[in-house]
């Protein structure tokens, strides 16, 4: 059986208490990699221990095997469990035994029609939802599905307490982000992401990996099958064992690839939206982000995939599409809510108190803007600040010196001139100053001569 950490046991207790208080829907929020499967399995064990039935569902078949393994390890009585994908359950509602408790993983998908169909059919059955980020591109909240929300520890806390690995983000952007266009769903269109990848010199992807993360077990996230295959080939051409996999890869072949990656036979695994939820390879210490997105959910799931804890592990996140510019660093303290938010805020993640960030010009590490010394390479930002200030001071001194030596000459000279002959707005302002006129006089005189547009 799992020995739950204190924070996991606390989530179990709080979830059960929330249901006892009469809430029909309870949403549990805990960061990716914090061990939600252990919490789910323990709640299922306690439920089936009393001969009550559990209905568990999630949207992908790969996650079903994972939760079954967790249930078995936790001594859950599977005779009282129905574990299926959401689509299978939606088509079998009339023949499935009625549950006493519904558990939904990755429940940021809960607004989908298939989920709603199940919830409506079992409207009198309490439900628990689990997610790392209750956030949808549409801006729609979850208040009508879950009446209360329980929040687990923050990513910062999990890193400090050795439950997630510390990380470094390298913001080494490739491609022309100006070609990216929004779709009706809010994320980028596939065509514009195609255009974006066409602007990338593919060899630079491998060069960046060799520079920042050589020899690390790595997952590369791409937006399309064709691009993912190209990237995998670029790595192989450089003598690095890389393989592509996607949801269309035959199941047996896909499982062979995943096993080979876990065993270390494959160094780099390129994929398309396949390894974002529930895929657990603790010794994977690097991710490369090549899929630009407006989705905070996708960003967190992909960027934090390398942060599963192992002693002395330090994760590398190579963001080559600028996602960090929209969302901040993975350990940003997001203020989650069940309420609706603006559909397309000016800056995604703008409902957070995320710290200002900057990219080190020496090593390309993304760090908090308050740092004067780069913690990765030691670059001294204060030198840059002093240079900028020195330049400003020099410019200011030059202006003052010029004013000091030329002011008397300019004043005496301008009084001898006829304003009708002036050809610049500065001459009018100098004349007004010498005569004691208001600036407005100079402005309107210059405008009348067509010097102001």
137-164 pLDDT, tens digit per residue, is 888 999 999 999 999 999 999 999 999 9
Of 154, 172, 196, the last residue of a domain is 154
CA distance 325 to 142: 27
Helix (H) / strand (E) containing 195: helix 190-198
Q: Are residues 402 and 270 in the same domain?
A: no
Give me the pLDDT at residue 203, please. Answer: 82
Calculated CA dihedral for residues 46, 50, 53, 56, nearest 10 degrees: 0
Q: Hey, what long-range contacts does 340-349 have (CB within 8 A, 24 or more apart)?
A: 340/139, 340/140, 340/141, 340/143, 341/139, 341/141, 342/139, 343/138, 343/139, 343/186, 344/139, 344/182, 344/186, 348/294, 348/295, 348/296, 349/296
Q: Are residues 211 and 243 in the same domain?
A: yes
Helix (H) / strand (E) containing 265: none
Give me the pLDDT at residue 370, please. Answer: 85
Q: Are residues 322 and 362 in the same domain?
A: yes
Give me the pLDDT at residue 76, please. Answer: 96
In a domain, 32, yes or no: yes
Residue 348 pLDDT grade (very low, low, confident, very high; cuts 50, 70, 90)? very low
Checking if the pLDDT of 350 tops 60, the result is: no
Q: Are residues 319 and 389 in the same domain?
A: no
Of 99, 133, 154, the last residue of a domain is 154
Checking if the pLDDT of 407 tops 50, the result is: no
Mean pLDDT value across residues 182-202: 88
Q: Are residues 430 and 367 in the same domain?
A: no
**Which domain CATH number covers 237?**
3.40.50.300
In a domain, 416, yes or no: yes
Q: Are residues 113 and 201 in the same domain?
A: no
Q: Are residues 405 and 269 in the same domain?
A: no
- The label of the residue with tokens 């030198």 reads 383
For the chain, the 3-state helix, strand and coil shares in percent, each to the nearest 5, are 40, 15, 45
The number of distinct structural domains making up the chain is 3
Calculated CA dihedral for residues 219, 221, 226, 227, nearest 10 degrees: -100
Contact 12, 28 (CB under 8 A): no
Residue 405 pLDDT grade (very low, low, confident, very high; cuts 50, 70, 90)? very low
- Average pLDDT over the chain, rounded to an integer: 86
In a domain, 339, yes or no: no
In a domain, 337, yes or no: no
For the ranges 31-40, 44-53, 405-414, the lowest mean pLDDT is seen at 405-414
In a domain, 17, yes or no: yes
Give me the pLDDT at residue 353, please. Answer: 45
The candidate with the shortest Cα–Cα distance to 270, out of 223, 201, 219, is: 219
Q: Which domain holds residue 84?
A: 6-154
Checking if the pLDDT of 329 tops 80, the result is: yes
Residue 239's contacts (CB-CB under 8 Å, 6 or more residues apart) are none
Give me the pLDDT at residue 277, please. Answer: 57
pLDDT digits 0-9 by tens, 255-314: 899 899 999 999 999 999 777 655 677 889 999 999 999 999 999 999 999 999 999 999
In a domain, 429, yes or no: yes
Q: Are residues 133 and 23 in the same domain?
A: yes
Q: Are residues 138 and 52 in the same domain?
A: yes
Give me the pLDDT at residue 311, please. Answer: 94
Mean pLDDT value across residues 121-131: 97
Q: Are residues 102 and 191 in the same domain?
A: no
Residue 343 pLDDT grade (very low, low, confident, very high; cuts 50, 70, 90)? low
In a domain, 1, yes or no: no
In a domain, 122, yes or no: yes
Mean pLDDT value across residues 334-352: 64
pLDDT digits 0-9 by tens, 196-252: 988 888 888 999 999 999 889 999 999 999 999 999 999 999 999 999 998 888 888
- The label of the residue with tokens 């407005």 reads 440
Q: Are residues 324 and 211 in the same domain?
A: yes
Q: Are residues 202 and 138 in the same domain?
A: no
């Amino acid at each position: 059986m799992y020995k739950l950490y204190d924070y996991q046991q606390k989530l179990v207790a709080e979830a059960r208490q929330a249901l006892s208080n009469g809430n029909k829907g309870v949403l549990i929020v805990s960061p990716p990699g914090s061990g939600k499967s252990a919490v789910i399995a323990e709640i299922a064990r306690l439920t089936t221990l009393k001969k009550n039935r559990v209905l568990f569902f999630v949207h992908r078949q790969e996650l079903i095997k994972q939760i079954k393994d967790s249930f078995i390890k936790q001594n859950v009585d599977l005779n009282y469990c129905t574990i299926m994908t959401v689509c299978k359950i939606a088509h079998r509602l009339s023949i499935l035994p009625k549950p006493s408790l519904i558990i939904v993983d990755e429940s940021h998908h809960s607004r989908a029609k298939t989920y709603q169909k199940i919830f409506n059919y079992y409207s009198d059955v309490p439900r628990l939802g689990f997610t790392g980020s209750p956030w949808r591109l549409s801006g729609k909240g979850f208040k009508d599905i879950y009446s209360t929300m329980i929040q687990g520890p923050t990513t910062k806390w999990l890193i400090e307490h050795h439950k997630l690995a510390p990380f470094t983000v390298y913001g080494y952007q490739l491609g022309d982000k100006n070609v990216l266009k929004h779709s009706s769903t809010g994320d980028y269109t596939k065509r514009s992401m195609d255009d974006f990848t066409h602007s990338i010199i593919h060899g630079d992807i491998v060069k960046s990996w060799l520079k920042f993360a050589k020899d690390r077990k790595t997952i590369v996230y791409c937006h399309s099958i064709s691009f993912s295959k190209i990237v995998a080939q670029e790595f192989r051409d450089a003598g690095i064992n890389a393989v592509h996999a996607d949801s269309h890869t035959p199941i047996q072949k896909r499982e062979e690839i995943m096993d080979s990656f876990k065993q270390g036979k494959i160094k780099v695994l390129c994929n398309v939206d396949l390894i974002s939820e529930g895929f657990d390879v603790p010794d994977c210490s690097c991710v490369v982000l090549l899929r630009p997105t407006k989705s905070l959910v996708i960003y967190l799931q992909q960027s934090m995939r390398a942060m599963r804890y192992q002693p002395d592990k330090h994760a590398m996140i190579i963001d080559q599409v600028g996602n960090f510019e929209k969302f901040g660093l993975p350990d940003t303290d997001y203020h989650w809510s069940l309420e609706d938010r603006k559909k397309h805020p000016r800056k995604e993640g703008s409902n957070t108190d995320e710290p200002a960030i900057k990219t080190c010009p020496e090593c390309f590490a993304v760090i908090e803007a308050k740092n004067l010394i780069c913690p990765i390479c030691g670059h001294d930002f204060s030198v840059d600040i002093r240079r900028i200030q020195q330049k400003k001071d020099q410019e200011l001194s030059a202006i003052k010196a010029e004013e000091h030596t030329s002011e008397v000459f300019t004043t005496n000279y301008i009084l001898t001139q006829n304003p009708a002959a002036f050809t610049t707005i500065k001459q009018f302002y100098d004349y007004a100053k010498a005569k004691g006129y208001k600036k407005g006089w100079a402005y309107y005189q210059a405008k009348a001569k067509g010097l102001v547009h």
